[in-house]
Amino acid sequence: MLFMVRMDVNVPLNFDQTELENLKKTEKARAEELQRAGKWRHLWRIAGQYANISIFDVADANELHDIMMSLPLFPFMSTEVTALCRHPSAIEND
């Protein structure tokens, strides 16, 4: 199943910056791992915001939930999830 996920990250201003940098490094590594595994198919930054739009290719909503919960920055995220299906007029598979 394909899901589009918007992730907005809102870290408190008084959060320890060293810890935040460590979380960002861990988050990047996890995102790269999921991309290499084919689970996180697309990742786009939203210009001017600490946010992204991503496409996940997972078995079901439970797998997506588990992936989202595994992200180190998840405690600071607000998310919007949309299930996707192929449009009959689409000429590309991806």
Q: Model's pTM, two decimal places? A: 0.91
Q: Where are the domains of the chain?
A: 2-84
CATH number for the 2-84 domain, one of 3.30.470.20, 3.30.70.1060, 2.60.120.10, 3.50.80.10?
3.30.70.1060
Residue 39 near residue 2, CB atoms below 8 Å: no
What is the rounded CA–CA span in Å between residue 80 and residue 73?
Answer: 15
Residue 8 near residue 49, CB atoms below 8 Å: yes
Question: Going by C-beta distance under 8 Å and a sequence separation of 6 or more, which residues neighbour residue 8?
Answer: 49, 50, 51, 77, 78, 79
pLDDT in tens, 26-74: 999 999 999 999 999 999 999 999 999 999 999 999 999 999 999 999 9
